[in-house]
Amino acid sequence: MASGAVNKFVEICKYLQDPIHVARFQRFCGVKGTFPEKWTQPVSGQPEPDCPGLRKRVQQSSNEGVGNGDAGVPQVNGKQEDDTVRPDGPAAAEIVRAKPLRRNSLTGDVGQEFLIHNKFLFYLFTFGTELGNEMFFIVFFPFLFWNIDALVSRRLIVVWAWNLFVGQSTKDMVRWSRPASPPVVKVEVFYNSEYSMPSTHAMTGTAIPFCLFMLTYGRWQYPFLFGFGVALSWSVLVCVSRVYMGMHSVLEVITGFLYSLLVLAFFQPILDKIDNYYMTDHYAPLVIIVSHVSLGLVAFSLDSWSTSRGDTAQGLGTGAGAALASHVNYQLGLLQDPPLSSLPLTLPPVTTGLVLRSLLRFAIGVAVLLATRMVMKAVTVLFLCRLFGLPSDDVRQARQQMKVELPYRYIVYSVVGFSCVCFVPILFWILNLD
């Protein structure tokens, strides 16, 4: 009985891992590849040559499968447009030829062109996948911290950093490659050099909204169904977008969703203790630095270089910087968390002055963070190259060295995290914007 259940479970997993389901979903959503005509679609259920067991990371060639008869399609706004009639759609359906999103400057992977038959879904799922990318978090966490609730933002950063570490480390232990292309169309190629199981986008896209819901419900006044609905919609959008982008199989997205809930179930009950320890304990700065650096060293030793190394160090570095800033703020008496007697909190009346003040804080703060990141990147890479005797004329090659990439990411993003939580609020105080 037990053996039969295990075999059935394995069969279901293999079925959900089949890239043909990703390709079918993409076609359903109006994404079609420009693969060579000589390629024939595999029968559903038949494994790809690299499917069993541990898989090698596959780097797609930038010229693979380009061109099969649409070279003459005119360009519109950086994309090519074709008013060809869709056989299964309206008589004047618009078809847009596009290239994969977010070319990765470190890997040089540019992917291959594809056709978009449904622009609304393309923009919707592009937005969904951005909810798990660096630029979203460099905007979302500061806005929450500066304008809404600093305590919630601090604790969300803790969950995000640890969630990212667990997910990326698991990827490099399982070592499954991305869904095979063809049949899958790579709408995005930025993370194509990483391993695939589980989806860390699905993990962060689930952990952040549900943790936000659990931290704010009861602390702020709003209906339960509203908060839960927003969290669920956010999570589903991110998860489905990863299948649409061709970056993950259905199994990997489901695993990422469930895995993040497991991580959240572990951290949620102790977030209050972690936050208090970071702020109040005399040895907290030492513990923060040692723990975050040690975890990064473990992650970097798992396998060869990939973009997941930088993401792991970036998350841990941001978490360390924010935690150190929380300690400094507490010791200097700069924390202004509302007293428990004032709970539950309510949104103040939305006035023109309040909106303008919030937008001004946000604009100034993000500008400071982006400038800090830019300066720290330039200075840190140059310093590390000189320190280790590496040529500084090829930044891409230098950053693929562990001894450069690890301290580079830690230094840059720990400073960004510290600036967000400590330096920028002090700047607001000086400018009378606190």
Which residues are known catalytic residues?
201, 248
> Do the strands 75-76 and 114-116 form a parallel or antiparallel pair, or are they unpaired?
unpaired
How far apart (Å, rounded) are the C-alpha atoms in residues 196 and 18? 13
Token duo for residue 331 = 């010791």
Cα 300–301–306 angle (5° rounding)? 50
User: What is the spatial order of strands in the sheet that 114-116 belongs to?
Assistant: 31-33, 114-116, 95-98, 79-82, 75-76
In single-letter form, the type of residue at position 260 comes to S
333: left (phi over 0), alpha (psi -120 to 50) or beta: left
> Within its chain, how far is the Cα of 353 from the centroid?
34
**Phi/psi at 154 (5° precision):** -60, -45
115 bridge partner residues: 32, 97
Contact predicate 312/164, CB 8 Å: yes
In single-letter form, the type of residue at position 84 comes to T
Label each residue of 356-373 as H, E or C.
Answer: HHHHHHHHHHHHHHHHHH
Contact predicate 247/239, CB 8 Å: no
220 bridge partner residues: 217, 345
How many CA atoms lie less than 13 Å away from 430 in the CB half-sphere?
8
Residue 113: count other Cβ atoms within 10 Å of its Cβ: 21
**Type and span of the H or E element at 32:** strand 31-33
How far apart (Å, rounded) are the C-alpha atoms in residues 374 and 311? 17
